[in-house]
Structure 1
């Protein structure tokens, strides 16, 4: 990267010492990662202002400083003053990585629920159709077949650009990625042109970050506002926010609605769904109306990419979606309950999963729901989750989720406030004990939903993560029960 090219990208208000002595080699948004020859950009974050670390960056060897305020230093560095550093981090990161986004067909999926399942389905279809695809999302980061841990739904601009570079070098032609509202609000995907962008739905979540639901919707809308005319927007038109997402969107539109003749659900049972979208019949092992939307949008996304309709339908018939999303936990044995693990951690998601299981259970089956709520997050959703579970469950166990720095018993108390009656409700703070007891007490006519953590293999308590996997504990409990231990 030359200084002239960097200045061109920045379109600066003012530049000091353009003819500094040295060369620029790397790019950083964290001063602790600065080394000799680094370009450091100072971003005003939600918790920390990067402008506080300009001197630290220079002391570590930064040769260029990009900031939003006038800054004087006697050090031999170039200072580039710009209007908004946050919007520049993405384009600069892409440029340092060799602009990998330009070499990939990027599919972005946003929404409150369904992002992970829809993204995973699209990735699985692309792979089944012989395409070279990678995936970035909540559950995992996949560079072709290689699986890496994913810490954020959408990474910071530098990690994202470097991941894209690795994908291009590995031979990827497609990148399917989840795009969070935080990432959109913080311009983490700035500098990326999306081939296809999809909206799943919008319900209450992340109101600890966004001021209200309207602001949350506006953050999601950024993805569609920035689409070029050559892109396609795939929209769940049955969601109340679907029309809002399309306002001022210049891209082509592909709408999914089960309320009109273009799509309908033929079958929705415990062994899968069958839908018709644009006259194409699609069978899927996934269950539930919400998964009908996920499968339908995955189909439309792949069609927008130019894949053959019948090839897509064939691939979807074998696609299992994402780990921890309505994932059954099974062991060999008699008279065992059906155990389902799901990531549902919002009122809407919990209602969707509970209503789905309630609708497909047999007349002699009962539904037990185990759930909690995360600490240090929007507390107003806790009683709403109680109402969602109470509407469909025969028995409920309220337990701990990821309490983080909060007292789990106080979180449980907030949830319990949402129940009108507590006759079929008990609370067990220890999540392991809650799962073990539910399975030990269950018979073969019971469905047990363990909600809230899904694919996560940790529990965050007192700010520290400890290994904890709902699926492992459920499997151990089922194995013990099958062996006559209970």
Structure 2
């Protein structure tokens, strides 16, 4: 494909193009060895890829996309005003505009994105629709699973995935749209038939700085022309605020507020949740979820709202909701054959921690033991908040490392301790996460629930810039041998 054709796809961001050539591969990693490669010189918060243009050319790049012209390079350059947006549009063109051949659903919000995508995929399959999924747990093309690297992949990876889905006969794709991805223009040019807003609570303030800026990123998803129809959580203050800004059709879902799609007669047990799915006060259908917790009622309602908007009948929606047995790392009960339950959950924000602890409180027969930490190089404000929540809601807390990254793990633990010390909560600190898990399992008794919070289905622990193998499911299995 010619460079000029790719540039035309991003023409609203192109300032100047010097020269033309054939492009056989595209990349934003200067270390990639390419043939007829196009290298995107992305300027980030920590690195400016213009510095690595020479490396990219040495590795096969024959053209560059830049935000400032680079002297002394005898290759064509496309000068653009917005590198990330241009990359998204050019990547879509390079892979043959796969998004235009699919019906795409995007889900944004602080919590519930992953589980909602799984519910939607299950409903679509119950309706006989071949579905794809893109999110934190990876990529699913029908029943094929592929490893993912980001909640919402960068544009080059995203459009290569969408092309694979088109080639595999996928009809509908349900994907998570993170606030980072929206802010970084990763989904520029993708048209979402339905966008869903699940909720908003404190997270990612290391990047967005304030809750207002965080919310604005979510709002932009719905107000910038990317989304054609919206499903909005009407029980969320942020959801109600968002509705005021919408100029597209929308459906409201919820429990406590006046909603179009809502749940009544909710019964929560350790086996799951039973409720009546009510549609516009006209019809209701009994639903028996295999997943636990009130938060999964909201996830089910969001998925039901989405699927109603794309024409799925209620009977298929109920079947799809009921046939989903588990979501990796989301309130996932492990098969331990012990008198106590062990549950892993991705809860790594204050609100998510509160949700999972309150949920198990609804049915636990013994004590709630929680093992958790907070990620390094991320929002520091939430650390004492999570400690305070654990101290109030858990019977015993073990503070440990999550992904400390480049930070001193003991400084992170000290910040969490400041919050838990304001409560009467009983706790101890064990920095080594495997040892912390071992301690939790050793003190658990019949009827107790052990929650391993924060990492979900992650299979690594990041320490000093190195990702080390760390699979909590395997560790629990080993410790219980």
- Mapped to 2, the partners of 1:29 and 1:330 lie a distance apart of 42
- Alpha carbons of structure 1 residues 177 and 426: separation in structure 2 relative to 1, 3 Å: same
After superposition, where does 1:66-465 map in structure 2 within 5 Å? 66-73=65-72, 75=74, 77-227=75-225, 231-260=228-257, 262=259, 263-266=262-265, 267-275=267-275, 276-278=277-279, 279-281=283-285, 282-332=287-337, 336-362=339-365, 365-419=366-420, 420-421=422-423, 424-465=426-467
Secondary structure of the corresponding residue to residue 193 of structure 1: coil
- Mapped to 2, the partners of 1:153 and 1:103 lie a distance apart of 22
Q: How many Å apart are 1:356 and its aligned residue?
A: 0.9
Q: How many Å apart are 1:394 and its aligned residue?
A: 1.4
- Alpha carbons of structure 1 residues 261 and 70: separation in structure 2 relative to 1, 3 Å: closer
- Mapped to 2, the partners of 1:436 and 1:58 lie a distance apart of 50
Q: Match for residue 483 of structure 1?
A: none
- Long gaps (5+) in structure 2: none
- Mapped to 2, the partners of 1:170 and 1:96 lie a distance apart of 18
Q: Deviations over 1:258-300 (max 9, x none)?
A: 1245423322222222232313322211121111100110111
- Alpha carbons of structure 1 residues 470 and 84: separation in structure 2 relative to 1, 3 Å: same
Give the TM-score normalised by structure 1.
Answer: 0.91
- C-alpha RMSD of the superposition: 2.1
8 Å contact from structure 1 (residues 197, 232) kept in 2: yes
Q: Match for residue 484 of structure 1?
A: none
8 Å contact from structure 1 (residues 265, 274) kept in 2: no
Q: How many Å apart are 1:311 and its aligned residue?
A: 1.1
- Alpha carbons of structure 1 residues 396 and 72: separation in structure 2 relative to 1, 3 Å: closer
- Alpha carbons of structure 1 residues 242 and 55: separation in structure 2 relative to 1, 3 Å: same
Q: How many Å apart are 1:168 and its aligned residue?
A: 0.8
- Mapped to 1, the partners of 2:226 and 2:40 lie a distance apart of 27
- Mapped to 2, the partners of 1:59 and 1:476 lie a distance apart of 47
Query: Once structures 1 and 2 are overlaid, which stretch shifts more, 194-203 or 220-229?
Result: 220-229
Give the TM-score normalised by structure 2.
Answer: 0.92
- Mapped to 2, the partners of 1:164 and 1:211 lie a distance apart of 32
- Mapped to 1, the partners of 2:462 and 2:100 lie a distance apart of 38
Secondary structure of the corresponding residue to residue 459 of structure 1: strand
- Long gaps (5+) in structure 1: 481-486
- Mapped to 2, the partners of 1:71 and 1:136 lie a distance apart of 36
Q: How many Å apart are 1:15 and its aligned residue?
A: 3.2
- Mapped to 1, the partners of 2:224 and 2:278 lie a distance apart of 27
Query: Once structures 1 and 2 are overlaid, which stretch shifts more, 85-94 or 422-431?
Result: 422-431
1:25 paired with 2:48, answer: no
Query: Once structures 1 and 2 are overlaid, which stretch shifts more, 34-43 or 169-178?
Result: 34-43
- Mapped to 1, the partners of 2:439 and 2:245 lie a distance apart of 53
- Alpha carbons of structure 1 residues 93 and 438: separation in structure 2 relative to 1, 3 Å: same
